[in-house]
Amino acid sequence: MLLAVDVGNTNTKFAVHDGQAWRGQWRASTDARRTADEYAPWLTQVMALSGLNLEHVTACIISTVVPQALFNLRNLSRRYVGAEPLVIGEDGVKIGIEVRIDKPREAGADRLVNAVGAYIEYGGPAIVIDSGTATTFDIVGADGAFEGGIILPGINLSLQALHDAAARLPRVEIRDPGRVIGRDTVSAMQSGIYWGSIEMIEGLCRRIKAEYGAPMKTIATGGVASIFEGAFPSIDHFDQDLTSRGLLEIFKRNGGAL
């Protein structure tokens, strides 16, 4: 089985594929200090709940936007999987797509993996919206190339900044408040973040499509995306498996077999 690890700034996602299907997916908070010997018992337990055994994992692929976390995850693969992991962005690891931006080495590993996952499932051209610590809009060309995009603060980060900067504004749950005009502080903040995010994403998708000049599919993924499912007229697909699918495809493109 393959262990696919996607390290984000806030959460790290572990997923296991047996060659036919994804058998389980689990999230842990990202902590670069967590050692391989700490990951292993946790993974053993959560895999056991799904009827899986860490001893049956034979390969590992890692995508990370937190470089400090790589050392311990590499050791996890070496010690407990018994394999040297493929690491997105390292020399010799083929992504299999052209990176058509001015500084290709600046493209984040997560964005490239999402581009691969989106293209093999939905084709191109496409817009991939990933809602996490940052919200990113990535452009996938008709031939699968990564063609750039937009980066802006994520929803939770925006809420945290608002709370930190304004002493009297509380932390609030992200949800549809049921109306646009808030009748108290909490509902006003919920309306701002919920409807403001929707209008921002709708507006940026409209501008991207106008500038690109061709019909584009729009795919949303990431930990926050599910909160908005059904609320965006411009989004064609909500796909929480997008990154895992991209990692699996890159594993195969580098000669991996299960």
pLDDT tens across 128-171, in order?
A: 999 888 899 999 999 999 999 999 988 877 777 877 777 677 77
- The answer to whether 133 and 155 are in contact (CB under 8 A) is no
The pLDDT, as a whole number, for residue 155 is 81
- Rounded CA gap, 87 and 134, in Å? 22
Residue 190: pLDDT over 70: yes
- At residue 178, the 3 state secondary structure works out as coil
Write down all domains in the chain, each with its CATH number in brackets: 2-87 (3.30.420.40), 104-242 (3.30.420.40)
Q: Please, are residues 23 and 16 in contact by the beta-carbon 8 Å criterion?
A: yes
Instruction: Kindly give, in sequence order, each residue whose CB lies less than 8 Å from that of residue 162, ignoring residues fewer than 6 positions away.
Output: 169, 189
Residue among 132, 152, 134, 133 at smallest CA distance from 208: 152
Tokens matching residue 210: 């106008």
Q: What is the pLDDT of residues 56-93, one digit of tens each?
A: 999 999 999 999 999 999 999 999 999 999 999 888 89
Residue 258 has pLDDT above 80, yes or no: no
pLDDT of 83 reads 93
The residue from 18, 91, 110, 176 that is catalytic is 110
Q: Are the C-beta atoms of 116 and 249 separated by less than 8 Å? A: yes
Contacts of 216 (CB under 8 A, 6+ apart): 125, 126, 127, 208, 209
Mean pLDDT across 121-133: 92
- Annotated active-site residue 110? The verdict is yes
pLDDT of res. 230: 73
CA torsion through residues 58, 63, 69, 74, sign: positive
Q: Quick count: other Cβ atoms within 10 Å of Cβ 203?
A: 11
Least confident segment among 40-54, 116-130, 225-239: 225-239
For 108-168, the three-class secondary structure string (H helix, E strand, C coil) is CHHHHHHHHHHHHHHCCCEEEEEECCEEEEEEECCCCCEEEEEEEECHHHHHHHHHHHCCC
Tell me which residue of 78, 87, 79, 80 sits closest to 5, measured CA to CA: 87
Degrees to nearest 5, angle at CA 22 with 125 and 136: 35
Q: Which backbone phi and psi does 166 adopt, to 5 degrees?
A: -120, 110
Residue 207: name the closest of 146, 139, 121, 110 by CA. 139
Which residues, in sequence order, are CB contacts of 18 under 8 Å at separation 6+?
1, 2, 258
